[in-house]
Chain A
């Protein structure tokens, strides 16, 4: 079906053919024209800030760890809904954090900032959190670490012989 009508708006955002003059005081190319010493200084402070932030982010799981530990202590060692929830969240949080380890440090990416150490600390702390979760799981008795966990549904062995009989009628 053919178009009945059509209105063409000129693309005003593109700066190639400006039809309307820029307002006074507006310089289209201001950031591009930034240069030399002032900008380098600013870059240094930014890198320092980024590195500081990266270390902060890397240390964040530690607080989490402490809180988790407290919660686990509160939850006790019996299997019920609360302790289960705590344990699974303690396991899940590090895992999800580890999966997104790249994304967490994305904003601080800078050629002048060494992100390896914060990253390692972040991973180590999260692994620590996971270990704590596993330890809790074990204390709850939910890890198959005993022989009983592997034989609890083992079918009885077949008997070779059969003896039938009893008292006569």
Chain B
């Protein structure tokens, strides 16, 4: 009875905390937010004379940002999203940043100082191919200048002041691809050069003011042309032929095309058929790259080629930088043993060579952007932005790294939590307040704050004290489990460990250099898993994580495993496997040293057991009969289940290799259903109880299974975007499938609904989000599934005496009868990702974490998604916390866990439990990172930070004193009474 009372009490509390929210002064106490931009692909430097030292960059993550060249800080940033890829970046008039995005169809101008968009122009582009953005400097109509955007055979001229399309010209020639546009100085004619298919060279003369086609000429080429070109002067370019063995020098003079065919072997002997032309813009020089060397070739006169330099290391070459009319500089970066050599050449003459130390974990240089500045003696100094293999961005100047940005963190693909080391005996890491006076002072301040007597200065001091005394940045485990490491894997294959206290990088590790030195030429990391999570058996062992990847781009290429220590980031073991990797299955088993058993399934459906030790083999074989594997083939619309059996399919004697046997398969009819989403419960989720108490003390038993898979299919017509299918053609089918037996536990069809579907499974329920075409709104549906076969366990005496089989192990083959309850609600937002909070013991009520289209994280109480909500709940139901039915889910502004911040391009939300039952960690990632701790039912198991211990102490002291005084007084009175 006490327990029920307790539960009701909890419920009462949670009713009070209907919306999770924090006060303004609590922002930043438990949460942190980091902004990144991603891997830089274009960079333009602000002109020298404007005085501001800025660089504008666009990135692979489709962000445009302006960075401070002195510190690397962001001035402004815009994230365009993955449907709006930035193709070209340029500056215009010294005050606008121009971007050409969405495959050449959107041209935008941004104000350089503050990043506000000035104008946007949509260019109608039929078939986007090669994109060019060209700012014409000398067509002056007033102060205006024209911007030319080219795309296949289309040229559009746009005014740089207001974005109005001045003229556009569609050169309607099949297969035409414009490659270069130029305008000779002091001329009103624009020349556009393109290739028609791969055999003809075309030259067009256009009027710069009207776009009128003045003249055009075509000439067939003696060789098949590739798309690799290098512009060597304003009116000539070099193109590689499609066999990559010869070059064609093309020159356009006075409207005529002249070309010279030069075999590459004429320049140097070893130019094989793997030569690449690096698209640089250097005066009369082009760069040819082969796998082993980089060569600079100068064009002399009309058709003379001369090799001016050839370096055997592969280097990275920057674009050219115009210093003056005659002088052009470019930078080359080579790797030497432990540093990089930064070399600047002006007109092919070396002017600067610096060796710069760069941390090993950044890998190799990927690209270089050169910039110059005027030294006090009027000579040129050079600095460069360098993008490294781990996608970090460095500014180098005068032989040193001035600043670096860890922009690899903008592309996190996977995140797992890890524990910090336990506090060592004898080494006191916890800093207790130094003196009693300080302690008292601190608490007096807090008291003042509570009683609202504090001045703004005091409030500042309280804030600072909060931050300092919370000890949230220590490198040891704490009692509440608030301090942890978040280990993340990025697209570049680098692993970072972030501290939950402030988001700093504790360690980082780039695997690829090590693998490349072995027999793994182009490694790519696929996933990150917890490998060892020590609990009780192996507490002295460090926890570690497992990295799984492939050595090549193809699905068949061999895989590798690497185990990394979670405390230090040191690589413990790296294995290059003999087999391919199709899937990694972490098993719920661990060997004696707490290493988790993993099965790696290869493309031939053989299962390989790791770690490879006799101990783990014993553990696995003992449980093999109960282990199954299922595979979802989205393309074929099939889900298949397999069992394992000993012995390799090909007859090899590897005892760690098991073959599989198909048990069942579910084939969705391809003409009416396509798999769009699957979801299953987190393996680490803990469920507190199997019983669900309904009104009138009714019991229902939850169907709790880790093997339940949610699959959503939509009709093929509705797989496109919203609007691609009418309500009558679209339908969405949701399945709950038992992955051991292949049994369909539940199936429901939503007519007139379509994807995208986002789903989350937890305990015995699934919540999914989709679009309802009939209502023109997004909808969220909840399905709760209950075990009907246990529903008869209601005999009180049997339960009191423990004579029931509710805790006996259950098997899927007993085919328990299930019942479901479900309900649908409208939801205002479209959703990017969806997750659920997890706590240490699963007692705390759940919140659904929704990544909204506005890049925020919304915490929605599961009670809003209760299938038992009715329009008029009875008194008992109200007492139970059932909210009256509404047709749509409320969005309470205070329940945004990201409060006012945005997580740019939000991709994932991870929730993992703290040791304190009420609290859970929430980490969301996109281009930005955001971390916070939330308590879905409030912190019912601990006192909050605001709790005033001094007030409590004072109260106790006052009470004790009062008791003593009263006691003395009553004694005295007693005595007097007796004397009377």
Contacts and interface: CB of A to CB of B under 8 A. Distances in A.
Contact of B626 (A141, A147, A148, A160): A160
A158 B812 CA distance: 11
Nearest to B879: A78
A163 interface: yes
Contacts of B599: 164
A143 B2 CA distance: 9
B762 to A, nearest CB: 13
A156 B689 contact: yes
A122 B587 CA distance: 68
B634 interface: yes
Interface in B377-391: none
A160 B810 contact: yes
Contact of B1 (A149, A155, A161, A162): A149
Contacts of A155: 688-690, 807
A165 interface: yes
B812 to A, nearest CB: 6
Nearest to B811: A160
B706 A151 contact: no
A35 interface: no
B954 interface: no
Contacts of B7: 152
A164 B812 contact: no
A146 to B, nearest CB: 4
Nearest to A142: B1
Contact of A147 (B641, B740, B796): B796
A120 B697 CA distance: 38
B810 A166 contact: no
B699 A148 contact: yes
B691 to A, nearest CB: 4
A150 B796 contact: yes
A145 interface: yes
A49 to B, nearest CB: 33
A133 to B, nearest CB: 13
Interface string B1-36: 101110110000000000000000000000000000
Contact of A156 (B627, B641, B687): B687
A161 B689 contact: no
A165 B739 CA distance: 9
Contacts of A158: 807, 809-810
B629 A161 contact: no
Contacts of B74: none
A159 interface: yes
B678 A154 contact: no
B796 A164 contact: no
Contact of A157 (B626, B631, B680, B807): B807
Nearest to A145: B796
B690 A148 contact: no
A154 B807 contact: yes
A161 B708 CA distance: 12
Interface string A50-91: 000000000000000000000000000011000000000000
A166 B628 CA distance: 12
A152 B585 CA distance: 33
A151 B626 CA distance: 28
A9 interface: no
A2 interface: no
B809 A159 contact: yes
B527 A161 contact: no
Contacts of B806: 151, 154, 157
Contact of A161 (B583, B702, B707): B707
Interface residues of A, number: 32
B707 A151 contact: no
A166 B639 CA distance: 9
B808 interface: yes
A14 to B, nearest CB: 25
Interface string B563-597: 00000000000000000011101111000000000
B630 interface: yes
A151 B803 CA distance: 12
Contacts, number: 153
Most buried by B among A79, A149, A160, A164: A164
A151 B793 contact: yes
Contacts of A153: 3, 688-689, 691
A163 B707 contact: yes
Contacts of B819: none
B4 A152 contact: yes
A143 B800 CA distance: 13
A143 B811 CA distance: 34
Nearest to A167: B632
B254 interface: no
B603 to A, nearest CB: 8
A125 B75 CA distance: 84
A163 B689 contact: no
Contacts of B678: 166-167
Chain B's interface size range is 35 or more
A8 B569 CA distance: 93
B796 A154 contact: no
A156 B708 CA distance: 15
B891 interface: no
A37 to B, nearest CB: 44
B698 interface: yes
Contact of B4 (A78, A142, A147): A142
A156 B690 contact: yes
B226 interface: no
Contacts of B809: 157-160
B693 A165 contact: no
Interface string A10-22: 0000000000000
A98 B628 CA distance: 65
B689 A79 contact: no
B114 interface: no
A157 B799 contact: no
Contacts of A143: 1
A156 B740 contact: no
B697 to A, nearest CB: 4
A120 to B, nearest CB: 31
B53 interface: no
B811 A141 contact: no
Interface string B626-646: 111111111000000100000
Nearest to A151: B691
A41 interface: no
Given A153-B689, A155-B690, A157-B690, A162 B811 contact: no
B441 interface: no
B583 A162 contact: no
Contacts of A26: none
Interface in A92-139: 137
A159 B810 contact: yes
A148 B697 contact: yes
B699 A159 contact: no
Contacts of A159: 705-707, 809-812
A5 interface: no
Nearest to B843: A153
Most buried by B among A78, A141, A163, A164: A163
A79 B582 contact: no
Contacts of A29: none
A163 B4 contact: no
Nearest to A147: B794
B795 interface: yes
Contacts of A144: 1, 4
30 contacts: A144-B4, A148-B697, A151-B806, A154-B689, A154-B690, A155-B688, A156-B704, A157-B690, A157-B807, A157-B810, A159-B706, A159-B707, A159-B809, A159-B810, A159-B811, A159-B812, A160-B812, A161-B740, A161-B811, A162-B587, A163-B628, A163-B629, A164-B586, A164-B630, A165-B583, A165-B585, A165-B601, A165-B629, A166-B632, A169-B583
Given A152-B689, A166-B680, 13 more contacts: A143-B1, A147-B796, A148-B693, A148-B698, A156-B687, A157-B690, A157-B704, A157-B808, A159-B812, A161-B628, A162-B626, A163-B739, A168-B582
Q: What are the 5 tightest A-B residue pairs by CB atom distance, in nearest-first order?
A: A146-B697, A164-B585, A163-B628, A163-B739, A150-B799
